[in-house]
Amino acid sequence: MTRSARIPNLGGAKAFILHRPHVTVNALSRQLVAIGLVTVECWPELPAEALAADFVFFDVDLGFDEQFPWKPGEAPMPLVALIGSEAPGRIEWALSHKADAQLLKPVGAAGVYSALLIARQSFEARRRLADEIAALETRVAERQTIVRAVAALSSRGVDDGQAYAQLRSLAMSWQVSMEQAAQRIVAMTEEGGDDQSNRA
């Protein structure tokens, strides 16, 4: 049996707690320090240095979008929602920020460590998925550029197969990738200079 994930060492990690002064903050800070994290308490908004945080805990009950120096759902670190009220509107707001884990208030003597681990893993999985989607979107865009370049080359009376072969030959002579060659052809075509490809 193989282990799917290693438990990360959280010692020295920095956690910002975006919550009004409250016993919940005191209890949370004690547990975080005991785990080995450095904590910073702030209210009513996150300071600019929070962009370098390893974790952010935020109050769902009194939270609002303007507290964060990023757009909803675009946090650059794992978020842990501190939930006291389970009002649907408040839960919906927390979800809009893509909280990676949650803790119910009042914070007790347990739950913080598991929330940290779950938040970290969830955040990393979400980031990997976003990277994969971005890479796929780039590949689709590159394929569309190749199709446009082949169409431009075939508009001069050659069939698609010959146009594709010509594109490949141009890429080799220019010593660039097929995608880069296709971008050049498309750019020349858009500038009204598609015949320049023959002179290159």
Q: What is the pTM of this model?
A: 0.71
* Element (DSSP H or E) covering residue 18: strand 14-18
Name the 3-class secondary structure at 199: helix
In the chain, domain spans: 14-127, 136-199
Interval 139-177: pLDDT, tens: 888 888 888 888 888 887 788 888 888 888 888 999 998
171 is written with which tokens? 């890429």
Q: What local confidence, expressed as pLDDT, does residue 199 receive?
A: 45
* Element (DSSP H or E) covering residue 142: helix 112-154
Contact 104, 81 (CB under 8 A): no
User: Is CATH 1.10.10 correct for 136-199?
Assistant: yes
Q: Mark residue 53 as left, alpha or beta (left: phi above 0; alpha: psi -120 to 50; beta: remaining).
A: beta
pLDDT in tens, the chain (200 residues): 445 556 677 888 999 999 999 999 999 999 999 999 999 999 999 999 999 999 999 999 999 999 999 999 999 999 999 999 889 999 999 999 999 999 999 888 789 999 999 999 999 998 898 888 888 888 888 888 888 888 888 887 788 888 888 888 888 999 998 888 888 988 888 876 444 444 44
Third-level CATH fold of 14-127: Rossmann fold (3.40.50)
